[in-house]
Amino acid sequence: MSKFLAIGKYSIGMGDRFGRQARAQLRACIRAAAEGVDVVPVWNKSNREHVIIGSEPRQSRAAAEAAVKALKWNKPYFVDADHIGLETVERYLPHADFFTIDVAEWIGQAAPAEAGRRFVERHRELEGEIEAPGIGRPIEMERAGVERIVNKYYLAAREAGKIYRHIAQAKGAGNFVTEVSMDETDTAQTPAELLVILAALGDEGIPLQTIAPKFTGRFNKGVDYDGDVEQFEKEFKEDLAVIGLAVKQYGFPPGLKLSVHSGSDKYSIYGPIRRALRQFEAGLHVKTAGTTWLEEVIGLASAGGEGLAVAQDVYAGALEHIDELCGPYAAVLDIDRGRLPSAATVRGWTAEQFVAAARHDGKNPAYNRDARQLLHVGYKIAAKMGRRYLDALEEYKETVGRNVTENLYERHIKPLYLAKD
C-alpha cells in the first residue's frame, strides 16, 4: 500500500450538530498543541443526527474545512461518518475520511455452524492461557468459550468486512480511517470477547485503527459514568492488553486503539483512562458529540435576553415531546421524570439559574442531571426552530464559542491527555 492515512495517537471526536462550532472546537485542539500535545480533531456526526437535524455530510466537511482554514490548522483532521451501515454510508462517501462501521445489530445473530467451527480450527492460538503483558495474569480461554463468543460475533465481523470493502472500493484502501463500533448494544463485551472479535475482524482483512466496544457500566447521554469505576479500570487495562496482542497476532496497523463513545462527559473515568494509557503507552480516541450542543444551550442561556428565551423554549419543547425525543436513545438515558422542572418553572429562571441546572458540575447543588439529559436529546426542538435558533447562535456566538472551547479543553482534553499524574 503506497499510502496509509493514520489517525495518530490521541484524537478527539467532536459533534457539531448545527455546523456553527467547528472553530470554537478546533481552538481546544490548538490549545492542547500549544501545551505540547497533539490531539487530532475529528468531526463526527451520525446518520441519526443528520436525519433529526435535516443536515448533510457535505455540510460537516465544509464546516470543518472552513474552521481549519480560518485558524490555519496545518495538522491532520478528519470527518467521521459515525455509526454507519451499508444502507446509510452512501451519502458520506465523498465527504468523510473516517468511517465508524456500526455492526451492533448483528451481535447475537447465530453464525452458520460450519463458519464457527472453521474459525476455531483456524485460531488455535485463542485457546488456553494467553499471556497479556501489563495486567499481571494471562487471559484464560477455553475452546468452548471461543466457540460461544465467535458464534455471537461472527456475523457482525463479517458485516464489518462487507462495509469496509464497500467503502474501500469507493475511496481506495488507505485513504480513510476505519473504526468498528459495537457500543450501542445492551451487554458489555469482556476483554476475552474483544480478543475474539479482533481475530474475526483480522480475518476480514480490515485495517482497523480504532475499535469501540461496549464497556462495563452505563454511558448515559450528557452525564457522568454510572457504574463500578474500579471494574471499568480493570477491564479497560485488559482491553489495552488485548489490543497489543491483536496488533502483533492479526496484523492490524500498529496504532490500533480503543475508541470510547463517551455520550459526553464521563469525568469519573477520565483519570483511570489516562493512567492506563500511560502504563500501556497506548493511544485513544474519545468521541464527544452532544456535549458541544449542550454548551450551545448553556452559552445562549448565559447571555440572557433572547438567548435565554431560546434556551428556555428548547427545554419546554423537549419536555412536551419527551417520549418522541427519548425513543431513539432509550438505552443511553436514565431520566427521573419526577425531577424534571416544569416548563413554567424554567421560563421563570434567570440566566444563572438555567446555567447552574444545565452545566455539568456535580458539586453544584443546583445541577440537575435529569434536565441535562433531556436537553441532550432536545436538539430536534432547536432544529425545528430553524432561523430563530441559528440567528441566536450568530448573535451570541462569542459567549457560545467560549463555552464550547472551554468545555472541550478543560473538561475533556486536559483530564484525558494533558494531566500529569
Residue 183 or 235: which CB sits closer to Zn ion? 183
| Greatest alpha-carbon span in the chain | 68
Stretch that binds Zn ion, among 176-184, 308-316, 373-381, 388-396 (CB under 5 A): 176-184
| Vertex 95: Cα angle to 91 and 99 (nearest 5) | 80
Read off the C-alpha cell for 359: 452545566
Nearest Cα neighbor of 207 from 99, 83, 61 is 99
214 interacts with Zn ion by CB under 5 A: no
CA 34 to chain CA centroid, Å, is 25
Choices 163-171, 255-263, 294-302, 389-397; region in contact with Zn ion by CB under 5 A: 255-263
Residue 267: CB minimum distance to Zn ion, A = 18
At closest approach, how far in Å is the CB of 48 from Zn ion? 10
Cell numbers 457560545 correspond to 400
189 and 160 Cβ atoms separated by less than 8 Å: no
Instruction: Find the shortest distance in angstroms from Cβ 179 to Zn ion.
Output: 10
**Residue closer to Zn ion, measured from CB, 183 or 193:** 183
Residue 16 or 313 having the CB closest to Zn ion: 16
**Considering beta carbons, is residue 183 or 265 the nearer one to Zn ion?**
183
CA torsion sign, 381 to 382 to 387 to 392? positive
Residue among 7 and 340 whose Cβ is closer to Zn ion: 7
Which of 183/296 has CB closer to Zn ion?
Answer: 183
Find cell 467532536 and name the residue: 14
Cβ 289 vs Cβ 21: under 8 Å: no
Rounded to a whole number of angstroms, the minimum distance from the CB of residue 102 to Zn ion is 8
Beta carbon of residue 183, minimum distance to Zn ion (angstroms, whole number): 5
Residue 34 Cβ, how far from Zn ion at the closest point, in Å? 30
Is 400 exposed, middle or buried, given 0-12, 13-18 or 19+ CB atoms closer than 10 A? buried
CB closer to Zn ion, 83 vs 397: 83
- Structure-block grid coordinates of residue 170: 469507493
Q: Considering the complex, what minimum distance in angstroms separates the CB of residue 47 from Zn ion?
A: 12
User: Cβ closer to Zn ion: 332 or 340?
Assistant: 332
**How do strand 177-181 and strand 98-102 relate by DSSP bridges?**
parallel
> In the bound complex, what is the minimum distance in angstroms from residue 290's beta carbon to Zn ion?
11
Query: Interacting stretch for Zn ion, rule CB under 5 A, among 114-122, 166-174, 181-189, 229-237?
Result: 181-189
- Point out which span in 146-154, 175-183, 321-329, 341-349 binds Zn ion (CB under 5 A): 175-183
On whether the CB atoms of residues 146 and 123 are closer than 8 A, the answer is: yes
The H-or-E segment that residue 299 falls in is helix 290-303
**Pick 25 or 44: Cβ nearer Zn ion:** 44
Asked whether the CA dihedral 34, 35, 36, 38 is positive or negative, the reply is negative
DSSP structure string for 163-215: HHHHHHHHH-TTSSEEEEE--SSSSPPPHHHHHHHHHHHHHTT--EEEEEPPP
> What residue number has its CB nearest to Zn ion?
261
Among residues 23, 158, 261, 372, the one that binds Zn ion under rule CB under 5 A = 261
| Span near Zn ion by CB under 5 A; candidates 105-113, 159-167, 177-185, 243-251 | 177-185
d(CA 156, CA 34): 41
Q: How far is the CB of 222 from Zn ion (least distance, A)?
A: 14
Instruction: Give the residue with the Cβ less far from Zn ion, 293 or 315.
Output: 293
Amino acid (one-letter) located at 68: V
Distance CA 322, CA 136 (A): 47
Rounded to the nearest whole angstrom, what is the least distance from the CB of residue 261 to Zn ion in the complex?
3
**For residue 36, what is the DSSP state?**
T
Q: How many residues bind Zn ion (CB under 5 A)?
A: 2
| Stretch of residues binding Zn ion (CB under 5 A), selected from 131-139, 257-265, 274-282, 332-340 | 257-265
Rule CB under 5 A: which of 334-373 touch Zn ion?
none
Where residue 235 falls (left for φ over 0; alpha for ψ -120 to 50; beta otherwise) is: alpha
Least distance CB 3 / Zn ion (angstroms) = 28
Of the ranges 22-30, 180-188, 232-240, 411-419, which one interacts with Zn ion (CB under 5 A)? 180-188
Quick one: which segment of 134-142, 261-269, 273-281, 344-352 binds Zn ion (CB under 5 A)?
261-269
Q: Which is nearer to Zn ion, 261 or 397 (by Cβ)?
A: 261
| SS3 category, 108 | coil
Per CB under 5 A, residues contacting Zn ion are 183, 261
